[in-house]
Each structure stands twice: as C-alpha cells, then as structure tokens.
Amino acid sequence: MELKATSLGKHLAQHPYNRVRLLHAGVEVSGDKHEYLIPFNQLIQVRCKRGIVWGELEFELPDEKVVRLHGTEWQETQRFYHHLQHSWQQWSVEMSEICASVLQEQVDHIQHIEQQDKWFKLAELGKLQQQIRQAFSALPMPVVRLEEFELCRDNYHRCQQWLQQGRRKVEQRNLRWSERMLVTHQDFFQTIETSPLNESQRRAVVNGEDAVLVLAGAGSGKTSVLVARVGWLLLRQEAEPEQILMLAFGRKAAEEMNERIAQRLGSVAVQAKTFHALALQIIQQGSRKAPKISQLESDTHARRALLIKNWQQQCSDKKVQAKGWRQWLSEELEWEIPEGDFWHDTHLADRLGSRLERWVGLMRTHGGSQAEMIEQADEESRDLFTKRIRLMAPLLKAWKTALKDEGAVDFPGLIHQAVNILEKGRFITPWKHILVDEFQDISPQRAQLLAALRKQNKCTSLFAVGDDWQAIYRFSGAELSLTTAFAENFGEGTQCALDTSYRFNDRIGDVANTFVQQNPYQLKKALNSLSKGNKKSVVILPQEQLEALLDKLSGYALPDARILLLARYHHLKPEILQKAVTRWPKLNIEFMTIHASKGQQADYVIITGLCDGYDGFPAAARESILEAVLLPQPENFPEAEERRLLYVALTRARHQVWLMQDPANPSVFVEQLQDIGVPVQRKP
C-alpha cells in the first residue's frame, strides 16, 4: 500500500518526502532525491494530522528524530494511517510477547539478588545495570514503547528503577538484609566482645562492600569492631582464617590485636602484623630470600652518628657544601650558627641529627631519583629545593652504602621491594579480606602496597577503621586525603561511622567535637557519649595553678584513678613533677607528649603549654623546604593538624580536662575554646 502527495501539495509543500509505502515490517518514506526506510522496530509513534487543505503524517523515531510527509489528500491519508496502524500494532503485540519474556528474565535475576543471603555490592550493581541495558538493547522495539503493553509495563518499571535509582535500591535491599542478619545472629553480637556491640558497630561488621571505611571516633570501640569483623567472616564462612590479613602500624598495636583475637576467638590462624612484617613476608616468599633489617632502624644512636659523621666530613672536605649548609641552617631554619668550622659544634650536631634522620627517611620513602624528587617541587620552590637535595645527596649515598655493607635493607626499602615483587607477579596473595587499624595514619607508600595486593586479586576487600579527627602524623608521611577521599583512592564502596563513645562524658564530647569540626575539611559524623558531664568537665586554668590543681585532685581522686599530664613536647615536662612522688604519693600521675598519648585513656587529663610562641601550642611551623615538597600537602585551614592534636588530648579523659594557659601570652586555641563555651577559671 502506498500514499502519495498530490501534484499541487507536492509543489506547495516543497518537502523532501512526498510518498510513503507500507512494507512487511516497516515503511519507506521517499521523494525525488531522498529515501528513508523506517523499520517498525525503530518506530515510536505515528501521528495523523489535518492541515488547512492536505493531510500530514508524522513518524517519531528514537533520539527525538521526526520524519514528516506533507501534501497528501486527507481521505487517503486517513485510510493509509488506519491500515498502517493496524499492521504496526499487530506486529507490536507479537513483539511485546518477546519483550515480556526478556524483561521477566531480568526481573527473575533482580528477585534472586533481593532474596540471596549475602550483601549486595555496589560493584555488582554496575554489572546488573549493564545486563539490563544489554537486555533493553536486544529488544525488538524501542524501550519507551514498553509502557503501552500491560504484560511488559510492571517489569519494565522495575528494571528502570534499578537503572535510575540503583544506589537507593541497593541501600534499601542491604538494609533489609542487615536487619535480618542482626536478628538471626543476635547471640554472636551479644557475646563476641565482653560487652554487646551497639547497633552502629554491628552494622559496620556486616557491611560487605569491597571498600569499607569505618570512621571510629575516640573511645568508640574500633578494636571491638575489628575483632568482630574477623569473627563474622569466619562465622559466615566468607573466608578461611589464612585468607584474612590484619594490619596495624606498630608492633605493639599488632601484639595487642593478636591478644584480643586469642581472647575472643580462640586459636584461629588470623595474625595481625605490621606493614613492615607483611613486606618481609612478601619478599621472603617472592624472592626465596630472607632480607635482613638494618640495625640502623632500631639503633637511634648509630643512625644519627652515621649521618652526623658524614655531614661533618662533607662540610670539612668541600667549602661549597659547608657554605650551603650554613645558608640552609641560618636562613631557612633560623638557627644560630657559630663562626668558623661550625660543623664541629657538638650542640649544633646533636640538634641537626634528628633533622637529618627525617630528611633521609623522606627521600628513602619517596624512592625516586633526585630528578624525580625535584620534578615534584613547584616552579617557585624548585631552585631552592634542588640546592637542598644536592646537599643531602652525599648523606643518602652514605646511608645506602651502610645498608649495602651490612647486607641489609631499611623499612622504606622493604616496602618498595615488596611492591616490586607484587607488581611482577612473583608473590600470589592468599588474602581475600584486608583489615587495617588506625587507617588515618596511612602513607602513600603503604597505600601503594595495599593497592598492589588488591590489584593482584580483584576480589580482595578492604575494611579500613580509622578517624580523620585523630590524624596527627603528617610529619612522618601520613596523608589525610587517603582517608577523607577514600573512595577516590581505594575504589567505590561505603563509609559508616561508629556513633557512640564509651570513654568521655557528653560535655567533653561536645567541646572536642565542636572544636575539631571547625575545620570544614574534617569528615562530619555524630559521636554521642553515654555518660553525662557538666560545665566544669572542661575548664581553662592559669598555668601557675598546676600545683593547686594537683593538691585539689589529691583530695578526691581514687588511688586507681589515672591522671595524664600532657604537653606538646617532651622538654615541656613541668618541674613540679619531680616532687610528685612525695608531694602527692596517692596520685597516679603520668607525663607524656600528646602524640604519645594517642590510644591512651585516663580518668583525668591536664593539658599544659597552651601559650603562643616558639614552644607554644599550636606549634609554630618548622618545616624546611625538603619537608614541604616531600611530605603530603596539608589542608588549606589554619593549624589543621594542631587542632586535631588538641582533640586527641581532650578525648583521652573519662571525667575531666583542665587546659593550662599562659594568661600573659595565651594560645589562639584558648580564645576559640572560650567561643564554644569553655569556662576560664582563676583557680581550680
């Protein structure tokens, strides 16, 4: 059947198409110079319109494309349109049955996912959505037409929901599954630790994403969650013990974790280890060699002696080098440098020793050549950085020579070697689940080791527990953005928070949380306390009132109550503590730096040194250009890490915190604490 424009209609319409022919399963629209074939499987809608004189047919196609035919006699247009509609609808009904079958197959798969007894991962959502799109592309008619057919409509809507609201559907589905698990395995969560896990802890434990970041605020039970996670994986038979890897940053933390696992899970073959111990294992198995760890890593005296000796030799042998070092120490670090052969000055050498250690450590951790390090500096600082690197080059060479002579490797070299072995495929990872404690302390080098492990086995999940509010180790290479931008660094996953602190009262919590979150770059989370405090749970006192405070404490503190006295630096230990044993024999007082107090807790905390200046708190910036280039970039917020350091200090206390200020030269933190309601008192 065919429809043509009239001679006059053709002449007046001046349109490229003037006739249409019905085919077996489509139409052919053509003109004197143009021809367009429209199969039924591309046709979305046909419209028949009446103009002032002639008829018009309009064919709607995908991608908002429309083909029109003008200038046809109206009666014939109607006749052709009805015949076309009948033929097209007959074809459509037949095709809708095929579509219904394809859609039902997709819905059956969705129902299987909704009913299966495991967490549905976001990575699996991507596969499901791709499968639905492929099914849609294989349908014999345009997807938008499925609405027209009752046998397709509901299943089409269900598939569309998973395409358009996939994340929400996954969250709803996993929420239902999690709630079922919490009920089914209630006994496990009640007994896995000495105290039952709370709901946020339980939900973190059952979360089955490939990359999970658990934000564990101070005192929120992160160790309980890690131990319970191991127990959960074993209970659900998601892994054998040897397929679970637990990582901690220090040997002591790893040992404590292993003790806790033994207590709560018995003699399971799951061992927490440090990143260095992991690297050692990879090298031993991947190269059939047992690397020896250099004694320099454990002997501070030998380490500094080696570097100082070579620094002195360098200055003594080359005047240019000596001049460069004088400029560096006097101009950049603003140190007082003696005249003449300054490198023989014992006090200066002792002072420089720790700096040389840190700088060589940064260069070893970077692992690249001098040129690669220099490339990392921006144009503004590159010339100066180049001069500093060249001054350090002989010391780095001496360090490498010492390692070679010893036949040993240092810690950064250990991790570099392990990553290299993994990338070459010489070690096959047995781990399906990697659990990391104190994740906020992760460095780019350690993150590289994790990435190499997961790259080798795509099914390896990462369960990271940490707290960006307690990230205080940038000076040793920790990079906060590895936590705050977790998904960008470790793949799509999820973030959850432990919402209850079992350590401090709500007043300490309110002050600490409000103070640390004034930095907009900190991740937002709720952290509630079980116990109640009062206005005096956190107070500011003059520093000269320390003795009076300890006198008062001695009147009511119980003999087993722990009192932590914290300062920014070791050398700020108050002299009054020298007589504490005899003056307050019943008080259990310990002094430590705030950095050392991380992970500790006490009944009462006294924070000293809240003053401005060189030894003040917040500490004045003391980085050289070497650290500015080789360390991770800090956040663009004043005193960001120092603010977190004060948060750590505040949250060590169960009952009460006193902040000792210098009223004549107060820290900027004092005013900020007052602004959020911390009272200032003249006496304790």
Burial letters for 100-111: b for 16+ Cβ neighbours within 10 Å, e otherwise? bebbeebbeebe
Helices 275-287 and 444-456: crossing angle in degrees, nearest 10, is 50
**Per-residue pLDDT averaged across 172-185, rounded?**
96
Q: What is the pLDDT of residue 527?
A: 93
Q: Would you say residue 13 has pLDDT above 70? A: no
In 3D space, the residue among 273, 600, 632 whose CA is nearest the CA of residue 436 turns out to be: 273
pLDDT at 12 over 70: no
Residue 637 has pLDDT above 80, yes or no: yes
Number of neighbouring beta carbons within 10 Å of residue 372: 10
| pLDDT averaged over every residue in the chain | 94
Report the phi/psi class of residue 297: left, alpha or beta, with left for phi > 0 and alpha for psi in -120 to 50.
Answer: alpha
Distance of CA 85 to the CA centre of its chain: 58
Q: Check residue 17 and give its pLDDT.
A: 83
Strands 19-22 and 26-30 turn out to be antiparallel
159-174 pLDDT tens trace: 999 999 999 999 999 9
Mean pLDDT of 391-407: 95
Q: Which residue's structure tokens are 């490229």?
A: 16
Round to whole Å and give the CA distance between 163 and 390.
57
CATH superfamily, region 200-291+414-501: P-loop containing nucleotide triphosphate hydrolases (3.40.50.300)
Reduced to 3 states (helix: H, G, I; strand: E, B; else coil), residue 673 is helix
Q: Give 213-258 pLDDT, tens digit per residue.
A: 999 999 999 999 999 999 999 999 999 999 999 999 999 999 999 9
Q: Which of 213, 205, 179 is nearest to 493 (CA)?
A: 213
Fold identical between 200-291+414-501 and 506-675?
yes
Helix (H, G, I), strand (E, B) or coil at 679: coil
- How much is the pLDDT for 33? 82
Dmax (CA) for the chain in angstroms is: 119
Compute how many other C-beta atoms are within 10 angstroms of the C-beta atom of residue 328: 21
Top-level CATH class of 506-675?
alpha beta
Predicted confidence at residue 9, as pLDDT, reads 65
* Residues 6 or more apart whose Cβ sits within 8 Å of residue 528: 499, 500, 501, 506, 509
What pLDDT shows up at residue 437? 97
Residue 655 has pLDDT above 90, yes or no: yes
CATH of domain 1-184: 2.30.29.30
pLDDT score of 284 more than 90: yes
Q: Where in the chain are the domains?
A: 1-184, 200-291+414-501, 295-408, 506-675
Region 113-119 average pLDDT: 93
At 541 the pLDDT is 98
Taking only the tens place, the pLDDT of each residue in 84-102 is 999 999 999 999 999 999 9
For residue 605, the tally of other CB atoms under 10 A from its CB is: 28
- Single-letter amino acid code for the residue at 243: Q
